Amino acid sequence: MPDLIVIGGGIVGGAIAWGAARLGASVALLDEGDIAFRAARGNFGLVWVQSKGAGLPPYAHWSRRSSELWPGLAGSLQERTGIDTGLRQPGGFMFCLSDEEYESRASVVQRMHNESGDIGTRMMDRAEVRAMVPGLGDRVVGAAFCPIDGHASPLYLLRALHTDGQASGVAYHPNCKVDAIDAAPNDFTVRSGADRFSAPRVVIAAGLGSRDLAPMVGLNMPVTPLQGQIIVTERLPRFLDYVTHVTRQTEEGTVMVGDSQEDAGFDILTKVSTLSHIAARNIQIFPALAAATIVRTWAALRVMSPDGFPIYEQSERYPGAFAATCHSGVTLAGAHALALAPAIMRGELPSELAAFSAQRFGS
């Protein structure tokens, strides 16, 4: 019998499973596989702090903590697997294309400073931004800059978590769609077809599938999809040393541009109108992108709670059952692996995560 069952083999579940195995726990990782709406496949790859937590300071603190833990996660994974997750933390920009956008962003930065403390985010005028980022378009009037923002490769991260996890005591079960969970306090049996998995602890980290699974262990995970679309260009000479919330140049040289937010249900088809809007805004920021060849586009689904913040909770009815979900799986991977997983194995979530209980949504 394993010590822990993790339902969901994406970045959230993979990080928790890896973190638990790192402590010596035996873990069964149940993964529905690539037929699932796997957010990791479409993730933009930001390790982003500057805009996380307006209105909920614990989210700002949790995101910053994860950013600080990320180098340890990346270093450990590379040492043990040889896989470079692509973590780079050069700082990040949110560009403003009008005075109104600049004033709005400045207001958010000031609000977050007042609520959550100083993380170094500051507003820059056009001249200061151009000195750091050559080739900006004339529409850019300024930006918010945070020195601890960065990015990583979601796919290399997922591969590294699975590779080292399985070498460290994670029993990986692919194509394992969960049908039901039989629950008693600290005693859970997960059913998948004819297979049965039992353990004293279970974590539901199944992304959009968590909504149906959580009630089986007395939890509430009211998550819904929010579609985002991304454009990827050919490999270009290095021109962007920093990361932005809508543009990032990968280690391979391709440029990822986004992002969109559409309530499209479970639709993962791209739309020309949306992609055109994404391209137009990014070309206003970096005019040289107009000549770049597009090699790929995709749509994927974010996992969103009603207020956009994560959900972490242990079941009161069935202690030992935990919920974990967020739309920032890459940003929060450090915290999930190195802070949340140890707490789950201790059997008690830290007080700093109380703000993320689903009880905030009511019954």
Do 55 and 160 belong together in one domain?
yes
**What DSSP string runs through 55-118?**
T-HHHHHHHHHHHHHHHHHHHHHHHHH------B-S-EEEEESSHHHHHHHHHHHHHHHHHH--
Q: Is 24 left (phi over 0), alpha (psi -120 to 50) or beta?
A: left
- CATH code for the domain in which residue 229 is found: 3.30.9.10
Do 229 and 343 belong together in one domain?
no
pLDDT of residue 363: 60
Q: How far apart, in whole angstroms, are the C-alpha atoms of residue 318 and residue 30? A: 20
pLDDT of residue 168: 95
pLDDT of residue 227: 93
Domain limit, last residue, from 304, 328, 350: 304
The total of other beta-carbon atoms located within 10 Å of residue 20's CB is: 29
Q: Shortest CA distance to 170 belongs to which of 329, 342, 30, 314?
A: 30
Do 14 and 76 belong together in one domain?
yes
Q: Shortest CA distance to 223 belongs to which of 105, 312, 123?
A: 312
Distance between start and end Cα atoms, the chain: 34
Q: How far apart, in whole angstroms, are the C-alpha atoms of residue 184 and residue 200? A: 9
Do 139 and 228 belong together in one domain?
no
Do 253 and 352 belong together in one domain?
no
Do 12 and 76 belong together in one domain?
yes
Tokens of 88: 């780079």
Instruction: Give a yes or no: residue 363 inside a domain.
Output: no
pLDDT of residue 54: 86
pLDDT of residue 33: 77
Instruction: Give a yes or no: residue 87 inside a domain.
Output: no
Do 40 and 158 belong together in one domain?
yes
Q: How far apart, in whole angstroms, are the C-alpha atoms of residue 339 and residue 333? A: 10
Q: How far apart, in whole angstroms, are the C-alpha atoms of residue 16 and residue 324? A: 9
User: pLDDT tens digits for the chain (363 residues)?
Assistant: 999 999 999 999 999 999 999 999 999 999 987 766 677 778 899 999 999 988 899 999 999 999 999 999 999 999 999 999 999 999 999 999 999 999 999 999 999 999 998 889 999 999 999 999 999 999 999 999 999 999 999 999 999 999 999 999 999 999 999 999 999 999 999 999 999 999 999 999 999 999 999 999 999 999 999 999 999 999 999 999 999 999 999 999 999 999 899 998 998 899 999 999 999 999 999 999 999 999 999 999 999 999 999 999 999 999 999 999 999 999 999 999 999 999 999 999 999 999 999 999 986
Do 106 and 176 belong together in one domain?
no
Do 173 and 64 belong together in one domain?
yes
Do 317 and 212 belong together in one domain?
yes
pLDDT of residue 327: 92
Residue 194 structural domain: 4-81+153-222+308-358
With 0-12 CB in 10 A as exposed, 13-18 as middle and 19+ as buried, what is 291?
exposed
Do 142 and 46 belong together in one domain?
no
Cβ proximity of 218 and 202 under 8 Å: no
Instruction: Give a yes or no: residue 142 inside a domain.
Output: yes
Domain limit, last residue, from 128, 147, 166: 147
Cβ proximity of 302 and 230 under 8 Å: no
Please list the residues that pair with 124 across neighbouring strands. Answer: 143
Fill in the DSSP letter of residue 54.
T
- Count of structural domains within the chain: 3
The total of other beta-carbon atoms located within 10 Å of residue 266's CB is: 10
Q: Can you list the alpha helix ranges (DSSP code H) found in 168-269?
A: 210-213
Q: How far apart, in whole angstroms, are the C-alpha atoms of residue 249 and residue 236? A: 9
Do 230 and 218 belong together in one domain?
no
The total of other beta-carbon atoms located within 10 Å of residue 290's CB is: 12
Domain limit, last residue, from 304, 324, 340: 304
Q: How far apart, in whole angstroms, are the C-alpha atoms of residue 61 and residue 57? A: 6
Q: Is 149 left (phi over 0), alpha (psi -120 to 50) or beta?
A: beta
Look at residue 210 and give its three-state secondary structure. Answer: helix
Look at residue 273 and give its three-state secondary structure. Answer: helix
pLDDT of residue 60: 95
